[in-house]
Amino acid sequence: MAIRLKMVLSLLLSAAFLVSTCHGSLLLLELPSEIHPLRPRSGSSGDHVAGLSCLSWRLGVETNNLIGWKTIPQECEGYMGNYMLGEQYRSDSRVVAGEALVYAAGLDLAGDGKDVWVFDVDETTLSNLPYYAKHGFGAEPFDPTPFNEWVLEGNALVLPESLTLYQKIVSLGIKVVFLTGRTEDQRSVTETNLKNAGYYTWEKLILKTSSYSGSTAVKYKSSERGKLEKKGFRIVGNMGDQWSDLLGNSTGLRTFKLPDPMYYIS
């Protein structure tokens, strides 16, 4: 079933890109409210396979009660694909970004240029759904080689809810810092991809260097946030799709967790 789903999604994805390319632009540009042209059923009803509730699995992941896992249950790949490409994922993202918008608008800012908001990149400000639609939604072990090849193409899509939040934050005079697990050799393509997606300005883009080789994401991101604070910056907000984006030290005044049940990063 999982293999069949991958084949169908891959064919649909290829067809969608072919149609959009024939018109000279991606379908995304014609439908700005969509992050991806594939829209199967929502995945909100909680499929039960062999006694397993995939909705309950997703809840356990998002609440950080399920930790240290390498792959999602094989039986849940179809459910996860439906969720990530369906309306429920967008709705969940809107709730998080909407709350962040209300919070940001109510901040009493110092106005000295030292207030910053930290954003993760993958599945936070940029969406890699075309990659996962082709390679699967987390039931197979992660292979960094094809993913890095995808990153170097620079075609990750904008996550519209995050872009709206970003625009509001910039308009308030809060500086933006992107803190990503992408590596330093991916700086140029990441900068271009962010700008093409609408993220046109930022204070810093922090990528992982070799000095953090073997370190967990929590340690790496805590350290880099700590460096920001030592330079006098105040982290008023922090948003990511993984708990490792939000845990540890120097997490900021408030954190916001976007949905992402496809993989777990410690």
**What amino acid is encoded at 115 in this protein?**
D
Q: CATH number, domain at 211? A: 3.40.50.1000
Residue 265 lies in a domain: no
Residues 6+ apart with CB under 8 A from 134: 6, 9, 10, 13
pLDDT above 70 coverage of the chain, percent: 80
Domain span at residue 232?
A: 2-257
pLDDT digits (tens, 9 = 90+) for 77-133: 999 999 999 999 999 999 999 999 999 999 999 999 999 999 999 999 999 999 999
Quick one: pLDDT band at residue 48, thresholds 50, 70, 90?
Answer: low
The pLDDT of 165-178, averaged and rounded, is: 98
Residue 148 lies in a domain: yes
Domains identified in the chain, total number? 1
Quick one: pLDDT band at residue 32, thresholds 50, 70, 90?
Answer: very low
Cβ atoms 73, 137 nearer than 8 A: no
Mean pLDDT of the chain: 86
Residue 262 lies in a domain: no
Nearest CA to 162 among 96, 80, 106? Answer: 96
> Whole-model pTM?
0.85
Residue 264 lies in a domain: no
